[in-house]
Amino acid sequence: MLAEHAFGEFYQRHARSVWTYVYRVTNDAADADDIVQEAFLRLFQTDVPSDNEALRRYVFRIAGNLIADRWRRKVRDERQAHEAVDGREPQAHDIDVARTFAELKPRERALLWLAYVEGGTHADIAESLRLARGSVKVLLSRARARLRDLLTARGIERLGNDR
């Protein structure tokens, strides 16, 4: 278990980036607050190595697991609610990149966020999301393709310069 002082310093350095990751994946500030609080609480209560980078990857993994748990619960609740309705899905009217990103599956959002915002390597992403290292490249490619297809379908074909 981390000493309180070391934990406090770690929290100060990394809480914002974990919150930003969770928010981008969930698209809900209240959920992000709850998940980050729970992730750091679990990290504090766990006996893990005090290596800063290992702790960082571990807290992202905890947050990813909590996101997945919340997503599964939400899907279950929505499924039950839709059974009582005629099954029509609401149509999105405001089409922009952030909303399109939010339409991706949680794992797709997590992959893209960890790779392109956090700058994680495939090994880091694999560890954070508990995936086989070899599958990260394929899953990341599929997530990029899905985002591209969604953007293209909405008439948003290019973002910035092609590299």
Summarised one tens digit per residue, pLDDT across range 7-54 is: 889 999 999 999 999 998 888 899 999 999 999 999 888 877 667 888
Average pLDDT over residues 155-163: 52
Question: Where is pLDDT greater, at 88 or 84?
Answer: 84
SS3 of residue 83 by DSSP:
helix
Residue 66: how many CA atoms within 13 Å on its side-chain side? 25
**Does residue 93 have a pLDDT over 60?**
no
Average pLDDT over residues 81-96: 47
Tell me, what's the pLDDT at 69? 82
- 63 in Cβ contact with 35 (< 8 Å): yes
Tell me, what's the pLDDT at 162? 42
Whole-number Å distance between alpha carbons of 68 and 89: 22
pLDDT tens figures, 104-136:
888 898 899 888 877 888 998 888 888 898 999
- Residue 20: other Cβ atoms inside 10 A: 15
Tell me, what's the pLDDT at 81? 64
Please state the pTM of the whole predicted model.
Answer: 0.55
Domains of the chain: 1-90 (no CATH), 93-163 (1.10.10.10)
Question: Where is pLDDT greater, at 117 or 89?
Answer: 117
